[in-house]
Amino acid sequence: MLVAPSILSANFGRLNEEIKAICDAGCDLVHVDVMDGHFVPNLTIGPVVVQAVAKASSKPLDIHLMVENNTFFTELFAPLMPKYLSFHIEEEKHPHRLIQKIRSYDISPAVVLNPHSPLESIEYILEEIDMVLLMSVNPGFGGQSFISSSLKKAEKLRKMVDKSGLKTLIEMDGGVNEKNVHELKNAGVDIVVAGNYIFSSASYKNAIDSLRV
Ligand code: DX5
Ligand code: ZN
């Protein structure tokens, strides 16, 4: 299992040290939640701060856009060269076009599904993307409880990906901890995002290790 700490739960007063600490603790990716106050009822950080995150990080960035205008935000964040740039399918009229745009920057495109969104909505773009991010909470805030139907969804997506002979990664975001990570592994999840669980722990290393099942 790969582990991507969500910096939403970090101490933003000492963000630089927090980023260095999770990288030293052995995380695989640094998950950055970008919220615009429209698509979700919360507002986070823009490119100036994410640039500082990128500079502090020795690990690739995984940028999760929770915004209304995906094209505008893609153009804003692409120059920071994250490894993954993911956008919500619920908010995109032209996903195929946006995927091509993200790829044109040499960034891996990923699509995010809210807990209620059916997997059928990505059936015809699955082969175009490198990762599917399944939300296991309603996007907007850290520290929420895992929505259990996400497990069934991950199992179904695993079958879809394997049946198509694709290498598309499955990432799960929201309410992940050392208790539910085993079920996620069994369901075929490749990467877990964890905010509250890692940043509220006494040892980031122990927390990250406990998710590496
Ligand atoms: C929620 C974000 C998540 C969140 C996860 O909108 O996308 O990345 O920070 O935090 P936890 O692990 O605390 O649920
Ligand atoms: Zn996220």
Name the active-site residue from 28, 62, 173, 190. 173
Shortest-distance atom of ligand 1 to CA 199: 13
Measured from the Cβ of residue 103, the count of other Cβ atoms closer than 10 Å reads 15
Whose C-alpha lies nearest to ligand 1, atom 9?
A: 142
Contacts of 211 by beta carbon, 8 Å cutoff, 6+ apart: 1, 3, 176, 178, 181, 192, 194, 197, 198
Alpha-carbon distance of 141 to 139, in angstroms, equals 6
Mutate-to-test residue for ligand 1 from 113, 137, 138, highest number of ligand atoms within 8 A of CB: 137
pLDDT of residue 169: 99
| Structural domains of the chain in order of their starting residue, each with its CATH number | 2-210 (3.20.20.70)
Tokens 């309410």 belong to 175
User: Amino acid identity of 202?
Assistant: A
pLDDT of residue 17: 98
Among all bound ligands, the one having the nearest atom to the CA of 174 is 1
Q: pLDDT, tens digit, for every residue of 121-135? A: 999 999 999 999 999
pLDDT of residue 77: 98
Mutate-to-test residue for ligand 1 from 8, 61, 192, highest number of ligand atoms within 8 A of CB: 8
Alpha-carbon distance of 15 to 147, in angstroms, equals 29
pLDDT of residue 106: 98
Measured in Å, residue 162 CA sits from the centre of ligand 1 at 27
Among all bound ligands, the one having the nearest atom to the CA of 138 is 1
Residues with CB under 6 A from ligand 1: 6, 8-9, 31, 33, 64, 137, 139-140, 142-144, 173-176, 193-197
Write b or e for each residue in 168-178: b if 16 or more Cβ atoms lie within 10 A of its Cβ, otherwise e. Answer: bbbbbbbbbbe
pLDDT of residue 209: 98
149: its two tokens: 């139907």
Note whether 41 and 140 are within 8 A (CB).
Answer: yes
Let me know if 24 is a catalytic residue. no
Among all bound ligands, the one having the nearest atom to the CA of 40 is 1
Let me know if 173 is a catalytic residue. yes
Name the active-site residue from 28, 33, 62, 190. 33
pLDDT of residue 166: 98
**Per-position pLDDT tens, the chain of length 213:** 999 999 999 999 999 999 999 999 999 999 999 999 999 999 999 999 999 999 999 999 999 999 999 999 999 999 999 999 999 999 999 999 999 999 999 999 999 999 999 999 999 999 999 999 999 999 999 999 999 999 999 999 999 999 999 999 999 999 999 999 999 999 999 999 999 999 999 999 999 999 999
Shortest-distance atom of ligand 1 to CA 146: 14
pLDDT of residue 167: 98
